[in-house]
């Protein structure tokens, strides 16, 4: 067991909306089953951006200064007295949700639904549980996963969003090889549609291409630059650029019923255009929404095949108007996804060993900044929120490195 002493760690601390400061935090030696980790890479996620831009993420409001960040990897620098398997020098990915371990959901391996969950960088609990945008942190051994030798620290940080994707895939019950063969014998498609070509959408597309049996995978987005990133994967992914409807919207002061009718009509037009463009007249077997944008969720229902499924991954507007009748009449299942269960992280790290993910890592991680450099934290969050950098290069995933 390596000994450790109280040490100082640089950390990016969020005090309120747009108030991010580089500060020093005291880190105590690891105790019990904790390991101390020197954080090497942390990705900026959509929830981090919500906290940065608004001081809140949905109903979770910042009530005290908090360190953001939860997509992380690093190297073990010290271990507590009860640590069994990890050693100093081990490279690890941090699974940053810490469940109670004793409730019904934890016992059923659905720890993401644990009502006593403490998730790093979330303001749901108070006092808040600091995230990982710091140089050094302590974390329970059983929530640290050894990185495969051929997976970099950047790849280890991508394990978190990839785990979200794999949990979504598991919940979507993808078509089997036999399902696809039957569909092909009837000249039918068993295709997948993904709304959103951000990091989660791109990782999901790669995961589906590598591990599932869809006849084709289509990614739709409003950003042509991000769709070009998807094409550069060379995985046969198809893309659709979503454009504004040619039908002018009603005036802003129009009755709500008129605005709703226009939104649903536009969503149906979008769905029909995507189906027609990709030769899937009966709709997509699975639709994965990674945006949370109401127009995409609506279009996803219309784009689904009879007996299909819309999988909601993106956390968007908490209240939405959806064409439930269009889903019910065609038995389209609506499935929600919240983070990931206990199976997802090991599966993500196994998939990251695949040469495809080795090849596309630097296409997804488009920008890297140093944590301890003044002003770089704010620049990182600004980049992540803009979609393009100072030179017009598309931003997909920003990593802050220790």
Average pLDDT score over residue span 8-19 = 96
Average pLDDT score over residue span 45-72 = 94
Question: From 3.40.50.720, 3.40.50.620, 1.10.10.10, 3.50.50.60, which CATH number describes the 172-336 domain?
Answer: 3.40.50.720
Per-residue pLDDT tens digits for 334-362: 999 999 999 999 999 999 999 999 999 99
pLDDT band at 319; cut points 50, 70, 90: confident
Q: Which CATH superfamily is domain 7-146+371-401 in?
A: Medium-chain alcohol dehydrogenases, catalytic domain (3.90.180.10)
pLDDT band at 4; cut points 50, 70, 90: low
Q: Are 191 and 210 in contact (CB under 8 A)?
A: no
Instruction: Choose among 348, 335, 339, 315: nearest CA to 171.
Output: 335
Distance CA 69, CA 67 (A): 7
Distance CA 240, CA 251 (A): 28
pLDDT of residue 8 exceeding 70? yes
Q: What is the pLDDT of residue 245?
A: 86
Percent of the chain surpassing pLDDT 90: 90
pLDDT of residue 246 exceeding 90? no
Average pLDDT score over residue span 62-73 = 97
> Tokens 């051929």 appear where?
150
Per-residue pLDDT tens digits for 263-309: 999 999 999 999 999 999 999 999 999 999 999 999 999 999 999 99
Same fold yes or no, 7-146+371-401 and 172-336 = no
Higher-confidence position of 38 and 386: 38
**Domain regions of the chain by residue span:** 7-146+371-401, 172-336
pLDDT of residue 244 exceeding 90? no
pLDDT of residue 2 exceeding 70? no
Q: Which residues contact residue 261 at a Cβ distance below 8 angstroms, ignoring those fewer than 6 apart?
A: none
Q: What is the mean pLDDT of the chain?
A: 95
Distance CA 372, CA 385 (A): 21
Global pTM reads 0.94
> Tokens 């009755």 appear where?
255
């Amino acid at each position: 067991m390596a000994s450790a002493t109280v040490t100082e760690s640089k950390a990016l601390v969020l005090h309120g909306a747009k108030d991010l400061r580089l500060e020093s935090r005291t880190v105590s030696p690891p105790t019990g089953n904790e390991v101390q980790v020197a954080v090497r890479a942390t990705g900026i996620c959509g929830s981090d951006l919500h906290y940065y831009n608004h001081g809140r993420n949905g109903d979770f409001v910042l009530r005290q200064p908090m360190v953001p960040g939860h997509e992380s990897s690093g190297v073990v620098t010290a271990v507590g007295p009860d640590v069994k398997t990890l050693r100093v020098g081990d490279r690890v990915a941090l699974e940053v949700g810490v469940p109670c371990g004793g409730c019904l959901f934890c016992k059923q391996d659905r720890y993401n639904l644990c009502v006593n969950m403490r998730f790093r960088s979330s303001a749901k609990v108070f006092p808040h549980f600091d995230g990982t945008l710091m140089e050094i942190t302590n974390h329970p051994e059983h929530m640290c996963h050894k990185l495969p030798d051929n997976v970099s620290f950047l790849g280890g940080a991508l394990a978190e969003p990839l785990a979200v994707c794999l949990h979504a895939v598991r919940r979507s019950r993808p078509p089997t090889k036999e399902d696809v063969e039957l569909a092909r014998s009837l000249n039918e498609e068993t295709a997948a549609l993904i709304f959103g070509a951000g990091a989660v959408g791109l990782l999901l597309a790669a995961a589906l291409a590598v591990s599932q049996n869809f006849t084709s995978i289509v990614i739709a987005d409003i950003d042509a630059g991000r769709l070009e990133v998807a094409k550069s994967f060379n995985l046969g992914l198809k893309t659709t650029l979503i454009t504004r409807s040619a039908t002018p919207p009603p005036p802003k002061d129009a009755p709500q019923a008129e605005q709703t009718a226009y939104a649903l009509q536009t969503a149906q037009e979008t769905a029909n255009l995507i189906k027609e463009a990709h030769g899937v007249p009966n709709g997509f077997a699975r639709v994965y929404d990674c945006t949370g944008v109401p127009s995409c969720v609506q279009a996803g229902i219309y784009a689904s095949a009879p007996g299909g499924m819309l999988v909601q991954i993106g956390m968007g507007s908490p209240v939405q108007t959806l064409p439930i009748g269009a889903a019910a009449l065609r038995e389209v299942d609506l499935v929600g996804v919240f983070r990931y269960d206990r199976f997802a992280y090991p599966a993500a790290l196994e998939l990251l060993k695949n040469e495809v993910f080795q090849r596309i890592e630097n296409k997804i991680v488009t920008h890297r900044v140093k944590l301890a450099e003044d002003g770089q934290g704010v620049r990182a969050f600004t980049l992540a929120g803009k979609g393009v950098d100072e030179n017009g290069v598309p931003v997909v995933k920003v990593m802050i490195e220790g």
